[in-house]
């Protein structure tokens, strides 16, 4: 069953070098022998051994994918979906992805991912926020690296980022277009660039529409942007401001919390209050009503990252290109026209 290049060479009456040249198209070979060799290859169902090729070429054909344990295991499949995108593209590029996760408190003593130590990858994709220690220690190995959804401190690598500002502008504009003027922003962890960009986009959209920004409609003191804090922030917002007709939550998790608060307190969505989230999480369509949100193209982010890394691997000169992936407004049933007073 398992045939080698030697078997092919023997049966085709050529040297193994010729077979190699035919396979890789690396030297001119006469049409005649070329077809003969190809025929034998097919007959014997020959496929080059990856280990052998790796050993001699120094290239492994693998790309490492690193993320932290919490991102790996969190119920929300955000980075996992990005991983699927890389895998998808890897297949058509002829690469394999080796996935591994590391502890969020990665320290000097922790061992680096195996695939770096035993040289099993040609490049690395790092998704999400990752400890600096790790970044530094990896950089010693001079492997091409691409970051996804994170801006590392010393940046000389290609980046794949979400266009958060544009997304926030789209979300806010959608509410403005529906006639809303009292539009609140609910956020949290404003130190995180992604979320502060979303706030920035919100403000920009209001300004462009000549709607004044009211600080009492901006609730950003939550530590984490999760469901519970969405609920709490909504409580804080609505207990003081009765005239809010629309809310833009910085992500879907918070939006879900807001929705629960509204449901529990007699507000009808979208009749009384319109609600927009951000991320397009799977759970959104299960909600009642399904959530209008900004879709982040996770698969595409993975695809982009893989393209970048393959480029770096092949060309060796990795220019620190930044790819801002565009986002998209998904209108479902949690938003509607502002009802006239």
Partner DNA sequence: AAATTTTAGTTAAACGTTTAAATGGATTTG
Partner DNA sequence: CAAATCCATTTAAACGTTTAACTAAAATTT
Q: Which residues bind a second copy (CB under 8 A)?
A: 1-2, 47-52, 54-55, 60, 72-73, 75-77, 80-81, 84, 87, 91, 94, 96-101, 114-115, 117-120, 140-142, 227, 256, 260, 263, 282-283, 286-288, 299
Q: Which of 169, 171, 139, 174 is nearest to 154 (CA)?
A: 139
- Quick one: which of 42, 45, 56, 94 contacts DNA (CB under 7 A)? 56
Applying CB under 7 A, which of residues 10, 11, 20, 196 lies at the interface with DNA? 20
Binding residue for DNA (CB under 7 A) from 24, 35, 156, 315? 24
- Rounded to whole angstroms, how far apart are CA atoms 17 and 76? 51
Q: Pick one of DNA, a second copy, none as the site partner of residue 4 (Cβ within 5 to 8 A by kind).
A: DNA
Torsion sign over Cα 278, 284, 290, 296: positive
Nearest alpha carbon to residue 66 among 28, 121, 10: 121
Residue 6 is a binding residue for DNA (CB under 7 A): yes
Q: How many helices and strands in the chain, by DSSP H and E?
A: 13, 12
Distances (CA, A) of 284 to 7, 279, 295, 337: 57, 10, 11, 20
Could you identify the residue written with the tokens 């992805």? 97
Instruction: In whole angstroms, give the CA distance from residue 202 to residue 87.
Output: 34
What are the two backbone dihedrals, phi and then psi, of residue 96, each rounded to the nearest 5 degrees? -110, 150
Binding partner selected for residue 1 from DNA, a second copy, none, CB under the kind-specific 5 to 8 Å limit: a second copy
142 binds, among a second copy, DNA, none (CB under 5 to 8 A by kind): a second copy
**29 part of the interface to DNA, by CB under 7 A:** yes
| Six-digit token string for 223 | 């530590």
Dist. CA 133–CA 150, nearest whole Å: 15
- The yes or no reply on residue 117 touching DNA (CB under 7 A) is no
Stretch that binds DNA, among 49-57, 125-133, 136-144, 297-305 (CB under 7 A): 49-57
Which residue's CB is nearer to DNA, number 18 or number 251? Answer: 18
**SS in 3 state form for 85-130?**
HHHHHHHHHCCEEEEEEECCCCCCCCCCCHHHHCCCCCEEEEECCC
Segment near DNA (CB under 7 A), from 12-20, 139-147, 313-321, 324-332?
12-20
Q: Is 44 in the site for DNA (CB under 7 A)?
A: no
* Closer CB to a second copy, 120 or 182, in the complex: 120
Binding partner at 220 among a second copy, DNA, none, C-beta below 5 to 8 Å by kind: none
Is the C-alpha dihedral spanning 272, 278, 281, 285 positive or negative?
positive
List the one residue from 1, 10, 11, 14 that touches DNA (CB under 7 A): 14
Find which of DNA, a second copy, none residue 87 binds, CB within 5 to 8 Å per kind.
a second copy
- C-alpha to C-alpha distance for 195 and 203, rounded to whole angstroms: 13
Q: Taking CB under 7 A as the criterion, which residues in 207-266 touch DNA? A: none
Q: Cα 52 to the chain's mean position, in Å?
A: 33
Which among a second copy, DNA, none contacts residue 260 (Cβ within 5 to 8 A by kind)?
A: a second copy
From candidates 46, 83, 202, 278, binder to DNA by CB under 7 A: 46
Give 286 or 331: the residue with its C-beta nearer to a second copy: 286
Q: Give the footprint of DNA on this chain (CB under 7 A).
A: 2, 4-6, 13-21, 23-24, 26-30, 32-34, 46-49, 52-53, 55-57
């Amino acid at each position: 069953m398992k045939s080698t290049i030697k078997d092919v060479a023997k049966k085709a009456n050529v040297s193994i070098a010729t077979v190699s040249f035919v396979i890789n198209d690396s030297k001119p070979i006469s049409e005649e022998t070329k077809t003969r060799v190809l025929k034998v290859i097919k007959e014997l169902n020959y496929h080059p051994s990856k280990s052998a090729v790796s050993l001699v070429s120094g290239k492994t054909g693998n790309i490492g994918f690193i993320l932290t344990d919490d991102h790996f295991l969190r119920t929300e499949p955000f980075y996992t979906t990005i991983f699927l995108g890389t895998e998808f593209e890897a297949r058509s590029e002829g690469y394999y992805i080796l996935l591994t996760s590391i502890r969020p408190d990665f320290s000097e003593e922790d061992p680096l991912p195996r695939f770096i130590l035993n040289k099993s990858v040609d490049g690395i994709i790092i998704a999400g926020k990752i400890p600096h220690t790790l970044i530094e220690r990896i950089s010693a190995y001079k492997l091409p690296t691409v970051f996804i959804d994170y801006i590392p401190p010393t940046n000389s690598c290609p980046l794949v980022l979400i266009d958060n500002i544009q997304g926030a502008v789209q979300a806010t504009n959608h509410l403005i277009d529906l006639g809303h003027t009292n539009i609140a922003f609910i956020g949290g962890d404003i130190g995180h660039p992604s979320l502060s960009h979303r706030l920035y986009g919100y403000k920009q959209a209001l300004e462009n529409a000549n709607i004044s920004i009211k600080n009492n409609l901006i609730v950003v003191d939550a530590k984490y942007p999760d469901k519970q804090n969405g609920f709490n922030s909504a409580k804080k917002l609505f207990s003081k401001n009765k005239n809010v007709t629309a809310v833009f939550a910085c992500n879907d998790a918070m939006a879900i919390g807001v929705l629960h608060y509204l449901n529990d307190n007699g507000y009808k969505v979208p009749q009384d209050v319109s609600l927009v989230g951000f991320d397009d999480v799977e759970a959104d369509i299960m909600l009642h009503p399904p959530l209008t949100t900004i879709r982040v193209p996770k698969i595409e982010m993975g695809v982009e990252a893989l393209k970048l890394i393959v480029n770096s691997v092949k060309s060796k000169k990795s220019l620190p290109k930044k790819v801002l992936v565009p986002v998209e407004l998904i209108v479902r049933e949690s938003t509607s026209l502002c009802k006239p007073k």
